[in-house]
Protein backbone atom coordinates (compact mmCIF):
# COMPACT_ATOMS: atom_id res chain seq x y z
CA UNK A 1 0.00 0.00 0.00
CA UNK A 2 2.82 2.39 0.88
CA UNK A 3 4.43 1.67 -2.50
CA UNK A 4 1.17 2.51 -4.29
CA UNK A 5 0.83 5.81 -2.44
CA UNK A 6 4.46 6.68 -3.19
CA UNK A 7 4.02 5.81 -6.89
CA UNK A 8 0.85 7.94 -7.04
CA UNK A 9 2.61 10.89 -5.39
CA UNK A 10 5.55 10.62 -7.79
CA UNK A 11 3.20 10.39 -10.78
CA UNK A 12 1.18 13.42 -9.68
CA UNK A 13 4.28 15.54 -9.05
CA UNK A 14 5.74 14.47 -12.40
CA UNK A 15 2.51 15.39 -14.19
CA UNK A 16 2.44 18.80 -12.50
CA UNK A 17 6.01 19.55 -13.59
CA UNK A 18 5.37 18.21 -17.11
CA UNK A 19 2.16 20.23 -17.45
CA UNK A 20 3.93 23.36 -16.17
CA UNK A 21 6.60 23.01 -18.86
CA UNK A 22 4.00 22.89 -21.63
CA UNK A 23 2.14 26.05 -20.68
CA UNK A 24 2.02 28.55 -23.54
CA UNK A 25 4.34 31.55 -22.82
CA UNK A 26 1.47 33.98 -23.59
CA UNK A 27 -0.69 32.22 -21.00
CA UNK A 28 2.09 32.36 -18.41
CA UNK A 29 2.69 36.06 -19.05
CA UNK A 30 -1.02 36.83 -18.77
CA UNK A 31 -1.31 34.80 -15.57
CA UNK A 32 1.71 36.48 -13.98
CA UNK A 33 0.29 39.90 -14.92
CA UNK A 34 -3.15 39.14 -13.40
CA UNK A 35 -2.06 37.12 -10.37
CA UNK A 36 1.48 38.20 -9.48
CA UNK A 37 1.09 37.15 -5.84
CA UNK A 38 -0.42 33.71 -6.58
CA UNK A 39 1.03 30.78 -4.64
CA UNK A 40 1.04 27.00 -5.06
CA UNK A 41 0.31 27.22 -8.80
CA UNK A 42 -0.28 23.99 -10.73
CA UNK A 43 -1.25 23.80 -14.39
CA UNK A 44 -3.47 21.49 -16.39
CA UNK A 45 -2.97 21.61 -20.14
CA UNK A 46 -5.60 20.51 -22.65
CA UNK A 47 -5.96 20.98 -26.39
CA UNK A 48 -8.50 23.79 -25.86
CA UNK A 49 -7.51 25.58 -22.68
CA UNK A 50 -5.05 25.97 -19.82
CA UNK A 51 -6.18 25.71 -16.21
CA UNK A 52 -4.21 27.20 -13.31
CA UNK A 53 -5.07 26.05 -9.79
CA UNK A 54 -3.60 28.30 -7.12
CA UNK A 55 -4.07 30.20 -3.90
CA UNK A 56 -4.70 33.93 -4.10
CA UNK A 57 -5.39 36.15 -1.09
CA UNK A 58 -5.88 33.03 1.02
CA UNK A 59 -8.45 31.45 -1.32
CA UNK A 60 -8.21 28.50 -3.69
CA UNK A 61 -8.91 29.73 -7.22
CA UNK A 62 -8.99 28.20 -10.72
CA UNK A 63 -8.24 30.37 -13.76
CA UNK A 64 -9.00 29.22 -17.29
CA UNK A 65 -7.11 30.62 -20.29
CA UNK A 66 -7.59 30.05 -24.01
CA UNK A 67 -4.64 29.24 -26.27
CA UNK A 68 -4.18 32.95 -27.06
CA UNK A 69 -3.50 33.72 -23.39
CA UNK A 70 -6.87 35.40 -22.72
CA UNK A 71 -8.51 34.78 -19.36
CA UNK A 72 -11.81 32.96 -20.02
CA UNK A 73 -13.02 32.79 -16.43
CA UNK A 74 -12.33 32.17 -12.76
CA UNK A 75 -13.91 29.75 -10.32
CA UNK A 76 -13.71 29.44 -6.57
CA UNK A 77 -15.55 27.37 -4.01
CA UNK A 78 -17.70 29.38 -1.65
CA UNK A 79 -20.05 28.77 1.26
CA UNK A 80 -23.80 29.30 1.07
CA UNK A 81 -23.39 32.38 3.28
CA UNK A 82 -21.36 34.02 0.49
CA UNK A 83 -24.26 33.79 -1.96
CA UNK A 84 -26.36 36.90 -2.66
CA UNK A 85 -29.28 37.16 -0.23
CA UNK A 86 -31.96 36.48 -2.86
CA UNK A 87 -30.28 33.18 -3.81
CA UNK A 88 -29.93 32.17 -0.15
CA UNK A 89 -33.63 32.86 0.45
CA UNK A 90 -34.67 30.95 -2.65
CA UNK A 91 -32.68 27.89 -1.58
CA UNK A 92 -34.17 27.96 1.90
CA UNK A 93 -37.70 28.28 0.51
CA UNK A 94 -37.57 25.75 -2.35
CA UNK A 95 -34.92 23.22 -1.33
CA UNK A 96 -35.07 22.95 2.45
CA UNK A 97 -35.07 19.11 2.30
CA UNK A 98 -31.72 19.02 0.45
CA UNK A 99 -28.13 19.42 1.56
CA UNK A 100 -25.36 21.20 -0.34
CA UNK A 101 -22.62 18.92 -1.66
CA UNK A 102 -20.89 21.45 -3.94
CA UNK A 103 -21.05 25.19 -4.51
CA UNK A 104 -18.86 27.42 -6.61
CA UNK A 105 -18.81 30.89 -8.07
CA UNK A 106 -17.78 31.49 -11.67
CA UNK A 107 -16.70 34.88 -12.98
CA UNK A 108 -16.45 35.67 -16.69
CA UNK A 109 -16.09 39.13 -18.24
CA UNK A 110 -17.56 40.97 -15.24
CA UNK A 111 -20.47 38.50 -14.97
CA UNK A 112 -20.74 36.33 -11.90
CA UNK A 113 -22.69 33.10 -11.73
CA UNK A 114 -23.15 30.29 -9.27
CA UNK A 115 -23.51 26.52 -9.53
CA UNK A 116 -24.77 24.50 -6.61
CA UNK A 117 -25.26 20.77 -6.22
CA UNK A 118 -28.06 19.77 -3.86
CA UNK A 119 -28.78 16.24 -2.71
CA UNK A 120 -31.30 14.24 -0.77
CA UNK A 121 -31.70 10.48 -0.37
CA UNK A 122 -33.32 10.07 -3.80
CA UNK A 123 -31.83 12.66 -6.12
CA UNK A 124 -29.10 15.11 -6.95
CA UNK A 125 -29.91 18.48 -8.52
CA UNK A 126 -27.48 20.98 -10.00
CA UNK A 127 -28.78 24.54 -10.11
CA UNK A 128 -27.26 27.60 -11.73
CA UNK A 129 -27.83 31.31 -11.30
CA UNK A 130 -26.34 34.22 -13.21
CA UNK A 131 -26.19 37.94 -12.57
CA UNK A 132 -29.27 38.88 -10.59
CA UNK A 133 -31.38 35.91 -11.73
CA UNK A 134 -32.94 33.22 -9.59
CA UNK A 135 -31.87 29.57 -9.64
CA UNK A 136 -32.66 27.42 -12.67
CA UNK A 137 -32.22 23.67 -12.98
CA UNK A 138 -29.03 22.78 -14.83
CA UNK A 139 -29.19 19.01 -14.32
CA UNK A 140 -31.23 16.41 -12.40
CA UNK A 141 -29.92 12.98 -11.46
CA UNK A 142 -31.89 10.18 -9.80
CA UNK A 143 -29.91 8.15 -7.32
CA UNK A 144 -30.15 4.40 -7.62
Dihedral, 95, 99, 101, 105 alpha carbons, nearest 10? 40
Q: 66 near 57, Cβ under 8 Å?
A: no
Task: Give the CATH number for residue 106.
Answer: 3.10.450
Q: pLDDT-derived band of residue 7, with 50, 70 and 90 as boundaries?
A: very low
The tens digit of pLDDT for each residue in 119-133 reads 999 999 999 998 778
pLDDT at residue 110 in the model:
83
d(CA 50, CA 28): 10
Q: Do 45 and 62 reside in the same domain of the chain?
A: yes
Could you tell me the CA-to-CA distances from 65 to 1, 69, 102, 141 in Å, in that order? Answer: 37, 6, 23, 30
* pLDDT over 60 at 14, yes or no: no
pLDDT at residue 20 in the model:
42
Look at residues 18, 41, 72 and tell me which one is the last residue of a structural domain. Answer: 72
CA angle 118, 119, 125 (to 5 degrees): 55
Q: Do 23 and 59 reside in the same domain of the chain?
A: yes
Q: 102 near 114, Cβ under 8 Å?
A: no
The tens digit of pLDDT for each residue in 47-105 reads 899 999 999 999 999 999 999 999 999 999 999 999 999 999 999 999 999 999 999 99
Q: Do 62 and 91 reside in the same domain of the chain?
A: no
Q: pLDDT-derived band of residue 109, with 50, 70 and 90 as boundaries?
A: confident
Q: What is the mean pLDDT of the chain?
A: 87
Q: pLDDT-derived band of residue 17, with 50, 70 and 90 as boundaries?
A: very low
pLDDT at residue 9 in the model:
40
Total tally of structural domains belonging to the chain: 2
Q: Do 51 and 99 reside in the same domain of the chain?
A: no
Task: Give the CATH number for residue 17.
Answer: 3.10.450.360
pLDDT at residue 19 in the model:
45
Q: Domain of 68?
A: 2-72
Q: 53 near 42, Cβ under 8 Å?
A: yes
* b/e burial code for range 97-128 (CB count within 10 A of at least 16 → b): ebeeeebeebeeeeeebbbbbbeeeeebbebe
pLDDT at residue 21 in the model:
53
pTM: 0.74
Amino acid sequence: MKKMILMLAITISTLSVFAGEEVNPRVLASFKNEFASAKEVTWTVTADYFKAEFTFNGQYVNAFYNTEGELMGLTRNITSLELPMNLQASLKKSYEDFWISDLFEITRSNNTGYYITLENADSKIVLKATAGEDWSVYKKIKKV
